[in-house]
């Protein structure tokens, strides 16, 4: 009896085991289908008919490279037929489109196969319909100044380029070459872009402000297929306005599209550099999409729509009037140059202009140069802390030899101020040898500590490229001597030196700010600036104007304080020199820099004067 019962049990179990194997096979085919749909390649999926990869590509081609994930549920089987539910999740320009569809399964012999149908891709699709997407563009966020004054807003432009819709292939290439030549573009690159674009595409060559388009060469209009299309782009008041900092907006590059993870596609406007690139997601907002089933022109059927979300503005501290004034002052300066203006009360950067000689480089906030004698403000603080006073007598000699290296004063140093003189006089006249002679008063780290108290040499992430400078410990006695006068291994940006002037004026360590919404935790200096130290530094800097190398500023209204600076660099005989000047008024701290010039007073000084006189 037990043997018979066991046999019956085995017979009962056998059909169940076969059914389980069939379920596993069907699940495997369903999973293969989901994987193939996700990867957009169906050659590894078992179908009842021919491989539908090409048809699938045609159906979804209108969605471009939008990321996709398809998941298969457990198949529902009934004998030799069945079905499987598929969950589709698309990321179309940052918009999630999710839905479910069903695929029919059929058993052929021992194997399960998928019966292809376009409705697998989207349940309402007919045999002739494909998916298309229209992008619903958001408005790009503006870049604003104080009191929401417009800086970068939509302004009229003219887009120049080639309209291929009426040209033959031979005409396209000839016109592309002609357009590139007339507009002074790289011919090879523009021809390549023309070849790669669609048969009826507009190939953008150049975008000009509307005012600049009036100067377009007449020969441009004679080129077959060359067009000029009125449009708008986010632009600053002028082409030069804080350009290295603000950056540009243009059509997304192939690299930007690849890095965007589906957020960008060909033809989209995006930030290409500067703040426009760093804050692109905030400024660009989120595009909406309208996905349609299309069988031909006029047959569009809406499947899914999301509204665009406009970009958020980026608010800066830049004062448009001061910024344009700084750029006008620098307009004729041929070497790299910069003017930075900071409000000493709160650290707001009101102007950060890099001159035309900077050739698009952000000299103003990210330049890295020896600050020369403007650094003597820092050295003076370190010496005051070491026991020196403004009235201490110091030796100002014509030259001073340190370990075989001869240091001297600048070429036109006034002979009447050579000798044993008060420290305030050495500061006002910028006597190099006096500062170097007092170097033994300072121990390791004293200069860096004083620099930090004035906002120099301590990095902070301000939300834009900002170089705070460096004051490393010297490795030799000559290095220590050079550091005393802002050469050696000491470096600073114009922004950093404007911060020094602002900190002296404010009587505390000032932290620059450009982006109002960017939160920064200030690193407090190890030894903060005291009220007495600030008073002494203000007295010394005022003496530069009343009795020293900055006396040309004496006629300006208000109590102007200043320090001139010159720093040798490079090679040659004589060596070329960076020229600097820092200054402050009650409501403004400034740094003026010219990469190559005669001296701080002769080169940077007139630029500083012109800026202050224009106020």
Sequence spans of domains, the chain: 2-125, 152-234, 320-390+422-430+439-587+599-613
Q: Is 168 helix (H, G, I), strand (E, B) or coil?
A: coil
pLDDT of residue 38: 97
SS3 labels along 359-418: CCCCHHHHCCECCHHHHHHHHHHHHHHCCCCCCCEEEECCEEEECCEEEECCCCCCHHHC
User: For residues 365 and 359, what is the distance between their CA atoms, to the nearest angstrom?
Assistant: 15
- Assigned CATH topology for domain 152-234: Penicillin-binding protein 2a (Domain 2) (3.90.1310)
Q: Which two tokens stand for residue 289?
A: 């999409």
User: For residues 134 and 289, what is the distance between their CA atoms, to the nearest angstrom?
Assistant: 6
Distance of CA 593 to the CA centre of its chain: 23
Q: Which two tokens stand for residue 432?
A: 């190099």
User: For residues 523 and 502, what is the distance between their CA atoms, to the nearest angstrom?
Assistant: 17
Place of tokens 């020199």: 577
User: For residues 587 and 347, what is the distance between their CA atoms, to the nearest angstrom?
Assistant: 11
pLDDT of residue 12: 40
DSSP 8-state code for residue 117: -
Q: Which two tokens stand for residue 569?
A: 């660099």
Contact 502, 510 (CB under 8 A): yes
The Cα-based distances of 586 to 105, 451, 495, 614 in angstroms read 82, 22, 18, 16
The Cα-based distances of 86 to 17, 33, 195 in angstroms read 26, 9, 40
User: Do 2-125 and 320-390+422-430+439-587+599-613 share a fold?
Assistant: no
With CA atoms as reference, report the closest residue to 456 among 378, 383, 376, 386: 378
User: For residues 486 and 495, what is the distance between their CA atoms, to the nearest angstrom?
Assistant: 16
Q: CATH classification of 2-125 is 3.10.620.30, yes or no?
A: no
- Within the chain, which residues score under 50 in pLDDT? 1-19
User: For residues 75 and 98, what is the distance between their CA atoms, to the nearest angstrom?
Assistant: 20
CATH classification code of 320-390+422-430+439-587+599-613? 3.40.710.10
Q: What is the pTM of this model?
A: 0.83
The backbone torsions φ and ψ at residue 59, rounded to the nearest 5 degrees and listed phi first, read -65, -45
Contact 148, 80 (CB under 8 A): no
User: For residues 312 and 280, what is the distance between their CA atoms, to the nearest angstrom?
Assistant: 10
Cα distance from N-terminal residue to C-terminal residue, the chain: 114
pLDDT of residue 22: 62
Q: Is 65 helix (H, G, I), strand (E, B) or coil?
A: coil
pLDDT of residue 264: 80
Per DSSP (E only), the strands in 195-262 are 202-209, 226-235, 249-251
């Amino acid at each position: 009896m037990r043997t018979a019962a066991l046999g019956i049990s085995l017979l009962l179990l056998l059909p169940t085991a076969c059914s389980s194997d069939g379920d596993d096979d069907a699940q495997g085919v369903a999973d293969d289908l989901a994987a193939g749909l996700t990867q957009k390649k169906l050659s590894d999926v078992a179908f009842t008919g021919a491989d539908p990869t090409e048809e699938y590509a045609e159906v979804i081609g209108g969605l471009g490279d939008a990321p996709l994930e398809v998941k298969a549920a457990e198949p529902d089987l009934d004998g030799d037929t069945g079905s499987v539910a598929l969950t589709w999740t698309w990321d179309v320009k940052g918009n999630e489109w999710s839905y479910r569809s069903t695929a029919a399964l059929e058993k052929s012999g021992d194997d399960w196969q998928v019966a292809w149908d376009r409705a697998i891709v989207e349940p309402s699709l007919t045999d002739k319909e494909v998916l298309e997407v229209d992008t619903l563009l958001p408005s790009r966020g503006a870049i604003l100044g104080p009191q929401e004054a417009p800086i970068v807003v939509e302004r009229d432009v003219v887009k120049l380029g080639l309209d291929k819709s009426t040209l033959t292939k031979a005409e396209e290439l000839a016109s592309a070459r002609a357009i590139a030549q007339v507009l002074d573009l790289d011919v090879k690159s523009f021809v390549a872009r023309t070849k790669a674009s669609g048969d009826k595409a507009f190939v953008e060559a150049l975008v000009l402000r509307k005012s600049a388009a009036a100067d377009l060469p007449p020969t441009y209009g004679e080129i077959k297929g060359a067009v000029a299309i009125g449009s708008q782009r986010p632009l600053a008041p002028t082409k030069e306005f804080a350009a290295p900092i603000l950056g540009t907006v243009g059509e997304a590059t192939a690299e930007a599209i690849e890095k965007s993870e589906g957020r960008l596609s060909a033809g989209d406007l995006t930030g290409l550099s500067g703040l426009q690139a760093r804050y692109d997601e905030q400024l660009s907002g989120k595009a909406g999409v309208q996905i349609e089933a299309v069988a031909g022109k006029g047959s569009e059927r809406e499947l899914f729509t999301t509204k665009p979300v406009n970009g958020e503005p980026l608010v800066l501290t830049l004062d448009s009037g001061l910024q344009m004034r700084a750029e006008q002052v620098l307009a004729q300066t041929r070497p790299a140059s910069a003017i930075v203006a900071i409000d000493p009360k709160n650290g707001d950067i009101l102007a950060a202009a890099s001159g035309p000689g900077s050739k698009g480089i952000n000299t103003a906030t990210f330049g890295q140069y020896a600050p020369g004698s403007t650094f003597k403000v820092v050295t003076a603080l370190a010496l005051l802390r070491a026991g020196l006073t403004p009235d201490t007598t110091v030796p100002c000699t014509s030259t001073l030899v340190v370990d075989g290296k001869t240091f001297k004063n600048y070429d036109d140093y006034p002979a009447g101020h050579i000798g044993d003189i008060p420290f305030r006089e050495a500061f006002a006249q910028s006597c190099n040898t006096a500062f170097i002679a007092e170097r033994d008063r300072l121990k390791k780290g004293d200069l860096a500590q004083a620099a930090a108290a004035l906002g120099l040499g301590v990095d902070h992430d301000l939300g834009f490229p900002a170089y705070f400078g460096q004051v490393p410990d010297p490795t030799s006695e000559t290095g220590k001597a050079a550091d005393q006068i802002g050469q050696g291994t000491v470096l600073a940006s114009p922004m950093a030196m404007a911060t020094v002037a602002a900190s002296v004026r404010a009587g505390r360590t000032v932290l620059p700010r450009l982006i109002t919404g960017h939160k920064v935790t200030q690193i407090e200096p190890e030894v903060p600036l005291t009220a007495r130290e600030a008073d002494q530094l203000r007295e010394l800097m005022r003496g530069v104007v009343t009795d020293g190398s900055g006396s040309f500023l004496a006629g300006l209204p208000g109590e102007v304080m200043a320090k001139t600076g010159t720093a040798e660099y490079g090679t040659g005989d004589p060596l070329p020199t960076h020229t600097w000047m820092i200054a402050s008024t009650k409501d403004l701290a400034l740094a003026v820099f010219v990469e190559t010039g005669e001296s701080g007073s002769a080169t940077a000084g007139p630029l500083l004067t012109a800026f202050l006189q224009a106020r």
